[in-house]
Amino acid sequence: MPDQENASVKKSKLPLIISIGLVVAMVLSYFLIPDVKQFCQEAWDVLLSEDEERTSEWVSQFGAFGPVVIILAMIIQMFLIVIPSALLMVVSVLAYGPWWGSLIILAAVFCASSVGYAIGAYLGPPVVQKILGKKSEKKVESFLDQYGFWAVIVTRLSPFLSNDAISFVGGMLRVGYWKFIGATLIGITPLTIFIAYLGKNTDRLKSGMIWASVVSLVLFVLYVWWDKKRKKK
């Protein structure tokens, strides 16, 4: 029995060990390999520019590896609040068209959400609070406790809400992984379809994202108001 328990503990910590190993490898590569450092600096400059056309052209140069770059960027941006995830979604459609771009978006959100969930589940409140801040973590935790499955859907559907925070806190609260991922994909799909529908017209994309933010904000406020009224009754 003790051997089985030890094996179980080792197995449960494997994702954490792999994650830490990848982070250490990336940091060492940045400082020890000049090409990696140059690539990271260029990527940082391009992504921070928030210029969709420039970013899509930069991503397109990687050809078949472009989707991998978008997925990695979506994971990294969880720790960099200055890079909005919506920008990467738009870039995916601009670079690869509505169909492939949409599939890449879903894959990127799936991977980023899984990584955020794993960090919350394995590293717990101390690390999540350092990433999000104590106030933000408590707000998201309260929201997730109150609305559960629907909290994840609403957060993914709304460009103005923090997708990353819900992933960290979802893992921390040990929400069922497949339930969490299912709600994530249900919520992100309408937004993905909307961005794909707007296509490669950057002006339509910009105005469309503004309208999507406004509409989702209004719907979110109405939903909270209705839910509070229902609970009072």
Total domains in the chain come to: 1
Q: Which domain holds residue 100?
A: 33-232
Chain mean position to CA 181: 12
Please write the tens of the pLDDT for every residue from 97-115: 888 889 999 999 998 888 8
The answer to whether residue 44 is domain-embedded is yes
- What pLDDT score does 106 carry? 92
Whole-number Cα distances in Å, 232 to 34, 142, 229: 61, 18, 5
The answer to whether residue 24 is domain-embedded is no
| Interatomic CA distance for residues 35 and 57, integer angstroms | 20
Given a contact cutoff of 8 angstroms between Cβ atoms, the answer to whether 155 and 53 are in contact is no
The answer to whether residue 106 is domain-embedded is yes
Is the pLDDT reported for residue 8 higher than 60? no
Q: What is the pTM of this model?
A: 0.72
User: Burial level of 98, CB count in 10 A (0-12/13-18/19+)?
Assistant: middle
The answer to whether residue 65 is domain-embedded is yes
The answer to whether residue 17 is domain-embedded is no
The stretches of the chain forming alpha helices (DSSP H) are: 2-32, 34-48, 52-60, 66-76, 85-132, 134-147, 149-157, 163-172, 177-198, 202-232
The answer to whether residue 141 is domain-embedded is yes
| Interatomic CA distance for residues 34 and 185, integer angstroms | 38
Please write the tens of the pLDDT for every residue from 39-93: 667 776 776 666 667 777 777 777 778 888 888 888 877 776 556 677 778 778 8
The answer to whether residue 23 is domain-embedded is no
- What percent of the chain has a predicted confidence (pLDDT) above 70? 71
The answer to whether residue 60 is domain-embedded is yes
- What pLDDT score does 80 carry? 66
Which residue has 């992933």 as its token pair?
Answer: 167
Is the pLDDT reported for residue 151 higher than 50? yes
pLDDT, average across residues 110-129: 85
Of the candidates 55, 58, 127, 121, which has an alpha carbon nearest to the alpha carbon of residue 85? 55
